[in-house]
Amino acid sequence: MPPPGTVHYSIGMHDSAFDRLAHIIASHDPTGTETDLVAQTAAQSHLSEDFRLLGRVLRFRGDADSALENYRRAVQIEPENFAAQRELGLYLEQLTQNQEAGQVLRDAYRLNQRDDQVNNALRRIGLEPGPDLLPHQQPQARQITMPPLPSVDPGLPTPAANTAGPSPDVAPPRD
């Protein structure tokens, strides 16, 4: 399968193949050897996609806790991976863990506002997709230029450092 970002890469084809592979492993691996192999590969490669595949396999096997752990790891490794964010968010929403699902789905929405699955899941948990879910731009600090200080006339007295006593520039009072 071509790597993401290459000319021949197709998101739809990748997701379909990914889903079929996870279903095959989950349903035709009674001893768990294939699942263990996927887990070993994920641990060695430390790639987001490998943990996402393992999460999906465990999800199809009915192990929600382990699936969530691996989905979270996939997102932690690569926070900008939209597919990992979406899959974790949708699974959390399916498990009615709406508070965490809302956070993850907001992150997925920030990466891709046009995804129907993310938008529909956000609506189901009570969040309306739109500009309010996007990060607010912090106003950039403006440089404030102060007008130049007036030039000091050397003939004028300067205030004394010690204001308790008379100024050294002022003549003492006469008796």
Cβ neighbours of 153 (radius 10 Å): 6
**Residue 164: half-sphere exposure toward Cβ, Cα within 13 Å:** 1
Q: Where are the alpha helices (DSSP H) in 11-170?
A: 11-27, 33-45, 48-61, 64-77, 82-94, 98-111, 116-124
Bigger pLDDT: 132 vs 74: 74
Of the candidate ranges 13-17, 68-72, 75-79, the one whose mean pLDDT is the lowest: 13-17
Question: In the chain, where are the structural domains located?
Answer: 10-78, 80-135
CA distance 138 to 126: 26
Could you say which DSSP state residue 94 is in? H
pTM, two decimal places: 0.69
pLDDT of residue 29: 87
pLDDT digits (tens, 9 = 90+) for 82-133: 999 999 999 999 999 999 999 999 999 999 999 999 999 999 999 998 888 8
Which residue is associated with the tokens 């050897």?
33
CA distance 100 to 74: 16
Could you say which DSSP state residue 143 is in? P
Q: Is the pLDDT of residue 162 over 60?
A: no
CATH tag, 10-78 = 1.25.40
pLDDT of residue 156: 55
